[in-house]
Amino acid sequence: MISKKTMNRQARFSRTAVYAATLLALTTAGAHATGIDEAIENALKFGQKDGKYGQVTFDLNYRYEYADTENTKPEPAHANTFRLRLGYLTPDFFGFQGFAEYENLYAAQNDYNGITSGDKDHHIVADPADKHELNQLWVSFKGIPDTLIKGGRQRIKIDDDRFIGNVGWRQMEMTYDAVMATNTSIADLTIKAGYIDGVQTITSLYDKTELPFVNVNYSLGNLGNAIAYGYWLKYEEDTALFGRSSQTYGIRTLGSPKVNDMLTLHYIAEYSYQADYENNPTSYAADRYNLMGGLTMFGITAKAGMEQLDGSGNISDRTGRGAFQTPLGTNHAFQGWADRFLVTPGGGIRDVNFTLASSVMTANLMFVYHKLSNDSGNVDYGDEYDFQITKEFGKHYSLLAKYAYYVADDNAPAFAQNDTQKIWLQGIIAF
């Protein structure tokens, strides 16, 4: 006799198959649906191409995610989730504009640990099941020449999202209750300055903060950009987060100068300094180095880089007290997609990496290799191999397949042991 639990699971699988097939069919059909796309775009603007009455925004993301770390107790995770974002952008009214966005995550199959929900007997997939929230609610003003001021709950992405980002890979992104001003009144100079009062996290929790920040970006023309920044992060109320309070300062140069029609160079040179701040109970100072060089030729891009975040010297400490941390960064984009090092361990981390990217039949292909160790390079953590293929169909549809394989070193510290594999399949419809 089939148990009720098994029947429920089969029902979830059936619903998932129907939803996924529908979404993927709509996605692939987008390449042949220009007329339909225009009709939808027009409807979302209330029949006015100039957006006279504002416009509705719509984003549906289906994702299957598999996660497994060998020789650990939880069962492999299987997450079939659908993320819906539905918003409304007002028309411009004497320099003012507003935006409101609702976000909902539905788990058709929740055999995973979503941290704040889900099944704790499975591995973590940081997408909390069956959650909904106010993702954005902001008002902007551009009545001051060369200046945009935005206040309210908003998406903030600065530079490469290393220090302040929206963690856009997760189904429920991170947004901020903040005020930010962007000024371009001086030629070639962009200044972003603001204050973050709170953080709506990817697990639908809320962290109270005090975070003034400034980012100054000077354009060097074809050579690239020179950037300086400062972030003063203080966590409030939740004492468990006080150890993340920090002050960070840095300088960064980067660019992709085009040598000729066949050759483009790529480079990054960045240094950051971080120390304890305000209510952090740990006194520390740590450095970060980020270097990359590469080129694009014959449609192939190759890059080699090294990012190092210094630690406290305590190799066995996985919590990373006294190590260089980036708690508001989009950390999935760094140190491998398997997410084994979202928090810098006590021994720090050195990531020597190589990236190869190209396109075949309009599909984008990427391979990334990571050699991971402590900040001195004397203690090996492991190697990671990441693969990704993406395909866009017009402006509104895309597909993605992604794979991450972390191979632990035989002598790795306890927190870095055990191989990890993750697989993702994704389809997006966005208007």
User: Could you tell me the domains of the chain?
Assistant: 4-430 (2.40.160.100)
Q: Is 6 helix (H, G, I), strand (E, B) or coil?
A: helix
Residue 297: is its pLDDT beyond 60? yes
- pLDDT tens digits for range 368-418: 999 999 999 999 999 999 999 999 999 999 999 999 999 999 999 999 999
The pLDDT confidence band at residue 25, using thresholds 50, 70 and 90, is low
The amino acid sitting at 121 is D
At 110, is the pLDDT very low, low, confident or very high (cuts 50, 70, 90)?
confident
Backbone angles phi, psi at 415, to 5 degrees: -70, -20
Q: Which residues pair with 369 in a beta bridge?
A: 354, 385
Is residue 286's pLDDT more than 50? yes
pLDDT reading at 5 higher than 60: no
Across all residues in the chain, what is the average pLDDT? 93
- CA 159/CA 214 separation, integer angstroms: 12
| Region for 263 from its dihedrals, namely left if φ exceeds 0, alpha if ψ lies in -120 to 50, beta otherwise | beta
Per the model's pLDDT, the better-predicted residue between 144 and 27 turns out to be: 144
**Among 18-32, 257-271, 380-394, the least confident range:** 18-32
In the 8-state DSSP scheme, what is residue 214? E
List all residues 6 or more positions away from 417 whose beta carbon is below 8 Å from its beta carbon. Answer: 71, 408
Using alpha carbons, list the distances in angstroms from residue 367 to 23, 87, 211, 339: 27, 35, 36, 16
Q: Average pLDDT for residues 263-290, to the nearest whole number?
A: 98
Q: Which amino acid is at 146?
A: D
Percent of the chain with pLDDT over 90: 87
For 244, other C-beta atoms within 10 Å of its C-beta total: 21
Q: Is the pLDDT of residue 312 over 70?
A: yes
CA distance 66 to 423: 5
9-23, 126-140, 188-202, 329-343, range with the lowest pLDDT: 9-23
Lookup: tokens for 380? 């090996």
